[in-house]
Amino acid sequence: MSRTFVSICMLCLVHLGLQAAVVPVANADFEAGTDQSIESWTVSQGTATRLADGDEHFVRMVNQSQGRVILEQEIDIPKDLRMRDGTLSAIVRTADYKRGEKSYQSARITLDFLSPEGKMIRRFMLVVEEQQDEWKALERSITVPGNAVKLKVWPGMFFQSGTFDLKQITLTVD
């Protein structure tokens, strides 16, 4: 799914009068930054590299052990987006990847909705279930909790070896 298609879909929803809104994840398409630095994202564990795919960019996370490779970003949640249902979607591909036997052994995008005190209220995960040799759009439904004031977005490889490429993260609410 191209970024242009996603943008056109969002414009169509607005035109039809549906009140879909995009949660402002900074640099969600990984276009800003350098090969060694991904603007608006912190590499909290392991190594992540920003690479080019034609005229677009993506992030590659390689885990050669049973450790973790994690990107992180924390954003404020606007009040008008709370208590709304939505969708987390991403464009991903993997190499040399097989999901582990345990649920935490996976490539995934995790969303943690946080209280004013910084405590996790609700967690949603978009898990890559199987090898994806080509770019593939994945999505899952979410609900933004009413008392959440921050959102921690953290894609990564967790206790599973392989390569996880991430081209786009989009979080929309209805």
What band does 173 get if pLDDT is binned at 50, 70 and 90? very high
The more confidently predicted of residues 60 and 17 is 60
* Torsion sign across C-alpha atoms 110, 38, 40, 87: negative
Predicted local distance difference test score (pLDDT) of residue 19: 62
Which secondary structure element, helix H or strand E, spans residue 142, and what is its range?
Answer: strand 136-144
Which pTM value belongs to this model? 0.85
Contact (Cβ atoms closer than 8 angstroms) between residue 56 and residue 3: yes
Q: Return all residues near 122 (Cβ < 8 A) that are at least 6 apart.
A: 112, 113, 143, 145, 148
φ, ψ for residue 81, nearest 5 deg: -100, -5
Q: Is 6 a member of any domain? A: no
CATH number at residue 76: 2.60.120.260
Q: Is 5 a member of any domain? A: no
Q: Is 132 a member of any domain? A: yes
> pLDDT > 70: what percent of the chain?
89
* 160: its two tokens: 């599973």
Q: Is 11 a member of any domain? A: no
What band does 103 get if pLDDT is binned at 50, 70 and 90? confident
Q: Domain total for the chain?
A: 1
What band does 147 get if pLDDT is binned at 50, 70 and 90? very high
Whole-number mean pLDDT of the chain?
A: 87
SS3 81: helix
Lowest mean pLDDT among 18-32, 50-64, 81-95: 18-32
